[in-house]
Every structure is written in structure tokens, then in C-alpha cells.
Amino acid sequence: MVDAKVLRTPWWPVVVFLRLQAEAGWNQGTVWLFHATSLPFHLYTKVRRAANPYHPAWELYFEERESRHMAHTLAGRAALLYLWRTQGGKCLACGLPISWETGWHSHHVVPKVLGGHDGATNRQLLHPECHR
Ligand SMILES: [Zn+2]
């Protein structure tokens, strides 16, 4: 059994001691709650050198990039789930279901280069094939 105790000290606001309850009694020691290698991580993908976020030709590139980023963040997943639910789980271009297997792109209705915003009212989920 793991027990956490919080002590307030003058030199450091909070010191947390974790104690393990062994069969013989309480023993204080190092407790590994999880190993660092168990944390998922995603390598940052560099922006292409020639990419220009203000040029319409690069809109698709940045939307694909943003779609990948959204799937890896909590706020992005919440936004994707909201869009998916409001669309009934279907692609607005072809009407077929969108799933993890089919994939999706977060498309801007009004392109950002033309002043469109990143809010949910300016987005729609499309299949990658339908987005091109
Ligand atoms: Zn589609």
C-alpha cells in the first residue's frame, strides 16, 4: 500500500514523502510510481523550410500538420471529439463514417490565409482523401 504525506517546511513549500507499508511495518524509501520509458512521446516534426503559412498553396500542409498535433494533445482531442460528434461521426464531403482506421483532417472552412480562425465553428473533419 502506498501512502502520501505532505509536509510544509519553511525552506520549501511542500515536501512529499511516500511511504511503503511492508509486512513488518512502515519503511521509507524510493518509490517508482512509473518508469520514465513508459511515457509516450512524439518527435517534433520540423516545418519544411519552404512552407509559408500565409500562402494558400501551403494551407493543406499546415492543416495536415495541425490534425496530427491535435490528436496528440488533450485540448486537441477534445476539439476533435466535439467536431466528430457535431458531424454525427461522418465526413462532410462524402458522408461516410470517420474512424481511427479511416483517419481525418481538420479542415478550415474559411482558410486561415483568408482570415479564417482556428475555432470549432470554422472547422470540419474530412477524410484525408476527401480533403485533397
Ligand atoms: Zn470523406
**Domain map of the chain by residue range?**
4-38, 56-131
Q: What is the pLDDT of residues 75-104, one digit of tens each?
A: 999 999 999 999 999 999 999 999 999 989
How many A from CA of 105 to the centre of ligand 1? 10
How many A from CA of 86 to the centre of ligand 1? 15
Q: What's the average model confidence in pLDDT over 67-78?
A: 88
Backbone phi and psi for residue 7, each to the nearest 5 degrees, phi listed first: -115, 140
pLDDT (0 to 100) of residue 28: 56
pLDDT (0 to 100) of residue 17: 46
39-44 contacts, C-beta under 8 A, 24 or more apart: 42/72
Tell me which CATH code domain 56-131 carries: 1.10.30
Could you count the other beta carbons within 10 Å of the beta carbon of residue 70?
A: 18
CB 113 within 8 A of CB 130: no
State which of 19-23, 89-93, 115-119 shows the largest mean pLDDT.
89-93
The fraction of the chain above a pLDDT of 90, given in percent, is 42
Least confident of 26-30, 51-55, 105-109: 26-30
pLDDT (0 to 100) of residue 15: 40
Q: What's the average model confidence in pLDDT over 61-69?
A: 90
How many A from CA of 64 to the centre of ligand 1? 15
How many A from CA of 126 to the centre of ligand 1? 5
pLDDT (0 to 100) of residue 72: 85
How many A from CA of 129 to the centre of ligand 1? 7
